[in-house]
Amino acid sequence: MSRLVVQHPHLGDHAVAAFRAALGRAPTLHLPQLAVWEPATLDGDRVGELADALGVDAEIVPMSARLSDYRLLAFDMDSTLITIECIDEIADYAGRKAEVAAITEAAMRGEIANFEESLRRRVALLEGLPATVLARVYEERVRLSPGADALIVAARAAGLKMLLVSGGFTYFTERLAPRLGIDFSRANLLEIAHGRLTGRVLGEVVDAEVKRRVLEETCAAIGCTPAQAIVVGDGANDLKMMSVAGVSVAYRAKPRVRTETTHAINHCGLDAILNWFVDQLPAAP
């Protein structure tokens, strides 16, 4: 048995009416940002067509699914847990944001097959920047994505551990992890010499293969399988870890990513994930 969950920060009556007409009945739960039909009788393709046409988030989910069935919640960082691409903002201080951002976008769309090569090309453009720009980016530009706090709090209360695994940089993951109570993190280490960025990264680059391996290793460390993990990301570099997860979520993601994941969020915040689980659904008014 499945449930249809339709969401939008400003869910309009016209969207609810369209889904009501398609299902032939009113939702079992209707709140300002949320409408739920259970059981749901529409197939996923029709739901996707309606959601795209109406500009809402709509997903078919198992009626019995509970957040507490899972053991790990894993996030990509840039443009997923936070609203920016850190490397693009660092490059802004070198006057090269547009140049770096173009490479970032191509990599996230999957147009540059070798993520390591794309990262090294971008980092090389940062050579000579004072390392103090990292603190400025963190303090002035890093903002959590909408709903991130609420999702993490609920997941922790349901017994899940948190993983932050990023093709970005440890400077940021090592500050976000303790701030948010994230249990595990992995990212790339920028080389700094004499107070300046050298334009190089140290050690193994966290690419798609490494992300999948880190997810699998983290699951093993906490005694679960990847099928008990929920993974949230936005780019091609996340697809391999998403492919082994029990639930994969494309968050405001590139088109290729949306077609290869379990669910997608295009309009709502990260806390929309909670409404897919029966133990997190709000009570009817």
A 10 A CB-CB count for 30 gives 17
76 is catalytic: yes
Give the position of tokens 């009817």: 284
- Among candidate residues 43, 45, 52, 78, the one labeled active-site is 78
Q: Long-range contact list for 94-101, CB < 8 A, 24+ apart? A: 94/125, 94/126, 94/128, 94/129, 96/125, 96/126, 99/125, 100/125, 100/126
CB burial of residue 81 (10 Å; 0-12, 13-18, 19+): buried
13 is catalytic: no
Other Cβ atoms less than 10 A from the Cβ of 284: the count is 10
> What are the residues facing 265 on neighbouring strands?
251
Question: Quick check: 230 and 244 in contact, CB under 8 A?
Answer: no
- Per annotation, catalytic residue among 76, 234, 238, 271: 76
Distances (CA, A) of 278 to 161, 188, 232: 19, 37, 19
Q: What is the DSSP letter of 130?
A: B
Residue 207 to residue 238: CA distance in whole angstroms: 8
Amino acid at 188: N
* Residue 4 C-beta-side C-alpha neighbours within 13 Å: 27
- Give the span between the Cα atoms of 59 and 55, in whole angstroms: 13
SS3 204: coil
Catalytic residues: 76, 78
